[in-house]
Amino acid sequence: MLTGGELPALVLIDAVVRLIPGVLGNPESIFEDSFQEGLLEPPIYTKPAEFRGMKVPEVLLSGNHEKIQQWKLEQALNKTKQRRPDLLEG
């Protein structure tokens, strides 16, 4: 339940505007959005590499793009299997 239509309107505007060329810094970003490949997104990390005892997985710091993509796919598959197994059917 929302008190007005302003917030839903802003969400809709944001979702549509990001499809306009030049709005996103990297136009390829829209192809990595959740559900684009039929899977939930893998975990997303930012700096610092360690925060409150939690560390970014070494593979993400390795610079090996092939291994990073494989790790992201495995994580997305596991997350989807746990939370939305219906997306994996068929």
- Residue-wise pLDDT for 50-84, tens only, equals 999 999 999 999 999 999 999 999 999 999 999 99
Neighbours of 71 (CB within 10 A): 18
Full-model pTM: 0.64
Cα 75 off chain centre by:
11
Spatial separation of the C-alpha atoms in residues 56 and 75, rounded to whole Å: 13
Q: What are phi and psi of 76, to 5 degrees?
A: -65, -40
On the question of pLDDT at 5 being above 80, the answer is: yes
Tell me if residue 51 falls in helix, strand or coil: strand
Closest CA to 32 of 44, 14, 47, 45: 44
pLDDT at residue 6 above 70?
Answer: yes
Is the pLDDT at 33 greater than 90, yes or no?
no
29: pLDDT confidence band, cut at 50, 70 and 90?
confident
